[in-house]
Amino acid sequence: MKNIKFTSSMLVALITVMTSCSKEENPLDNEQYIKQVFIVGANQSNNEGLSTVKLPYGKTADEEQVAYVAVGTGGSKSIDRNITVTLAEAGIEMVTRYNYLYRFGTDIRYQMLAPTLYAIPQKNVQVNSGDTYGTLPVYVKTAGLHCDSLYAVTVKIASVSEPNYISIRKIDTVLMLSFALSNAYSGSYQAQGKSYKFNAGLTDTTSVGLIRTMKATDYRTVRFYHLTTPESVVNAVESGVKVRIEDNNTLTVTPWGSLAITAGGGTYNPATRVFDLWYNYTVAGVTLQFKGKFTRSEG
């Protein structure tokens, strides 16, 4: 009888312990860190919060291209309610600081994009319950932007709708948004061609075979560097070649700066993405011609 009572007591104790354990909370069910909001890409410990997005040149002065600013949430668990993050423009301070830290000598400095060339009509970003980020559009008029200039728009987090639930991160809250301008023809090309004295024909030639970048300068024009000139903006005036693609895919070839191009032309094949072009140029009174193909690299 004593054995039965002892066994029953042990069973009751075991059930009590198991029930108690089952009611204990799993630590992972709760937030393990601090819930915070931040601007994606505004990593001030890496490149001082600069984020560059690719935007195409507009066809007309008033045509707007859209870049997006993303606001993220941090923590071990997703948010369980909708939150609204309000952004504000951050001014020139970050641009000035970036230029001081990273631009030297003859480097092109970043400049604030003129207020007439961009718009942020909606300053509030909503991050929905269960999501990790929300986005806000920035509208930019790109048609008149210079291809060699560096433009920036700066934004920061001004407030959050529920500060007692989620806070603003102390760092990574100011974004310096810049733009890499492009068009339908810009990119990397394999160049194959020959340069020769125009009156001598192909008997006296210099072969050219290398990767060349076609840099967008507006909606339908690209620039590349003459022959094997290093692709640096400091060489653009003396060695830049400008190629305009017409509606019928014929080419107009002119100098970007002082390169003495006297004539030029060719065609562009949109199906194969190949430029077949030529241009005459003079060096020390001697007329030469470059003729070649530029084939778009994959990617």
Local confidence pLDDT in tens for the 299 residues of the chain: 444 444 455 544 444 544 545 455 555 455 456 899 999 999 877 778 999 999 999 999 999 999 999 999 987 788 999 999 999 999 999 999 999 999 999 999 999 999 999 999 999 999 999 999 999 999 999 999 999 999 999 999 999 999 999 999 988 789 999 999 999 999 999 999 999 998 776 667 889 999 999 999 999 999 999 999 999 999 999 999 999 999 999 999 999 999 999 999 999 999 999 999 999 999 999 999 999 999 999 76
Angle formed at CA 77 by CA 76 and CA 78, multiple of 5 degrees: 135
Co-location of 174 and 195 in the same domain: no
Of 174, 20, 184, 194, residue with least CA distance to 91:
174
Co-location of 264 and 166 in the same domain: no
Co-location of 150 and 206 in the same domain: no
Angle formed at CA 297 by CA 236 and CA 146, multiple of 5 degrees: 30
Residue 19 within any structural domain of the chain: no
Co-location of 176 and 193 in the same domain: no
Co-location of 45 and 164 in the same domain: yes
| Residue 3 confidence (pLDDT) | 47
Co-location of 218 and 163 in the same domain: no
Of 116, 114, 124, residue with least CA distance to 149:
114
CB atoms < 10 A from the CB of 232, how many?
Answer: 9
Domain region containing 152: 36-182
Number of structural domains found in the chain: 2
| Residue 204 confidence (pLDDT) | 74
Residue 140 within any structural domain of the chain: yes
Co-location of 107 and 137 in the same domain: yes
| Residue 4 confidence (pLDDT) | 44
Co-location of 120 and 240 in the same domain: no
| Residue 25 confidence (pLDDT) | 59
Residue 232 within any structural domain of the chain: yes
CATH at 266: 2.40.128.440
With b for 16 or more beta-carbon neighbours within 10 A and e for fewer, the 178-204 pattern comes to: bbebbbebbbebebebebbbeeeeeee
Q: In sequence order, which residues have a C-beta less than 8 Å from that of residue 280 and are 6 or more positions away? A: 198, 261, 262, 263, 264, 287, 288, 289
| Residue 43 confidence (pLDDT) | 84
| Residue 203 confidence (pLDDT) | 65
Residue 42 within any structural domain of the chain: yes
Rounded CA separation 146/162 (Å): 42
